[in-house]
Chain A
Amino acid sequence: MDLSFFPRDLFSELDRLQRQVQEASAFSPSIRGLARGGFPAINVGSTADSAEIFAFAPGLDPASIDVYLERGVLSISGERIEPRSTKEAPKASVHIKERFTGRFHRVITLSDDLDPETVDAKYLDGVLQISIRRSAASKPRRININ
């Protein structure tokens, strides 16, 4: 927790300290931390042949998810509707409410060597998996030395 090189005032120092603490706790193993990052949480993996995107979006109707890929930018949007049980029962009391509801929209930038014609999207167990193949020209290949 070193002081900055050019200390301005106490509040900016506190602000910086808070950010440092937040960054340090960003690796905490809590799914609540993901709420800051937005819904759905996204993991991205890469293989020699494809990019694999995993969106952790449970409880959706697959037909209601909009996925667009345009110039290496992938956009995932949709809406998660509040469970019927919380709306209908007038005498019900809600003790804990942590699950996301409402509209969501996430955009991620992918590398530009992907072929937008070969996108495959599957929704299983609440995880949307999108596989995009790399264009043939950018696949790693062995170069012969003469």
Chain B
Amino acid sequence: MDQKNAPARENAESQPSLLPPVDVIEDGSGITLLADLPGVSKETLKVEVDAQTLTIEGRIGLRNPEGMDAVHAEVRLPAFRRTFGLSNELDTEKLQAELRQGVLTLRIPKAEHAKPRRISVRGG
């Protein structure tokens, strides 16, 4: 356990943030996760895998003109954050992430040994 990093991480977790809506689809070769992160750019997005936890974090950057007053707000917090527990058949080393127009697509392939294979049944 890295003692130095612990407080910083606690801080990040205690910051209020929005829970982004996601789709999670699994097929034979892996898992695809789509997350809606409007306003998050590549620079402000953080995708982290720590042991068996996947964390998605992003700050919403808006081009607010100076001196703007909020009149109506449905998005009230400046950041998104969500964590997922992973299982060990997923190969997080080969995780691929793409951010396009505020939608994050994560592809986590299954490890070779965990891919489904047809088991031949021999007659007796």
Contacts and interface: CB of A to CB of B under 8 A. Distances in A.
Interface in A29-62: 29-32, 34-35, 37, 40-52, 54, 56-60
A92 B34 CA distance: 14
Nearest to A97: B23
A100 B74 contact: no
Given A31-B18, A96-B22, A43 B65 contact: no
Contacts, number: 142
A98 B82 CA distance: 13
A91 interface: yes
Secondary structure dominating the interface of A: mixed
Interface residues on B, range: 35 or more
B50 to A, nearest CB: 21
A32 B102 CA distance: 17
A31 B21 contact: yes
Contact of B72 (A43, A98, A124, A126): A43
Given A45-B69, A46-B68, A52-B68, A126 B76 contact: no
B48 interface: no
A94 B24 contact: yes
Given A45-B64, A46-B68, A59 B74 contact: no
Contacts of A44: 70-73
Interface residues of A, number: 49
B17 to A, nearest CB: 7
A56 B75 contact: yes
A42 B67 CA distance: 19
Nearest to B35: A99
Contact of A86 (B23, B28, B102): B23
A125 interface: yes
B27 A89 contact: yes
B102 A29 contact: no
A45 B24 contact: no
B101 interface: yes
A7 interface: no
A127 interface: yes
Contacts of A30: 18-19
A47 B67 contact: yes
A44 B77 CA distance: 14
A58 B101 contact: yes
Interface of A: 27, 29-32, 34-35, 37, 40-52, 54, 56-60, 83, 85-86, 89, 91-100, 108, 123-127, 129, 131
